[in-house]
Amino acid sequence: MIEAEKTLILGEEYHNFICSTRCKATKDSYTKALRQFMKFREISSCKELLKDESRPTQSYIIEWMLYLKEVKNLSTASITLYCSALRHFYDMNDYVA
């Protein structure tokens, strides 16, 4: 099992996110993307993703996108899917940057 897949995702924040999708494949892909972003950010809970910080969330996402492209060599389609998952997570939890 990949390290990112070991991250246990629980809580109301995750529930809001995952229960708003119907397709199992989407749920799986979005959960994988969320876990990988949490691993990249070195955090262990969805609640931490929503905390106010001195550094804007947008800058973390941009940095992560560059990492996915330049280090992981992911395709544009994969990066778009991962970003869609994050956008959905933040939208479903009423996050305003």
Q: Please give the residue that has the higher pLDDT: either 11 or 61.
A: 61
Inside any domain, residue 68: yes
Inside any domain, residue 39: yes
DSSP string, 28-94: HHHHHHHHHHHHHHT---HHHHTS--SS-HHHHHHHHHHHHHHTS---HHHHHHHHHHHHHHHHHTT
- Our measurement of the distance from residue 11's CA atom to the centroid of its chain's CA atoms, rounded to an integer in Å, reads 15
Mean pLDDT of the 15-37 span: 92
Inside any domain, residue 9: yes
Q: Please give the residue that has the higher pLDDT: either 64 or 3.
A: 64
Range of the domain at 22: 3-92
CATH number, domain containing residue 81? 1.10.150
Inside any domain, residue 50: yes
Asked whether the beta carbons of 46 and 14 are under 8 A apart, the reply is yes
pLDDT at 5 over 50: no
Inside any domain, residue 97: no
33-58 residue pLDDT tens: 999 999 999 988 888 888 867 667 88
The number of distinct structural domains making up the chain is 1
The amino acid present at 89, given as its one-letter code, is F
The pLDDT > 90 percentage for the chain reads 52
Give the predicted TM-score (pTM) of the model. Answer: 0.81
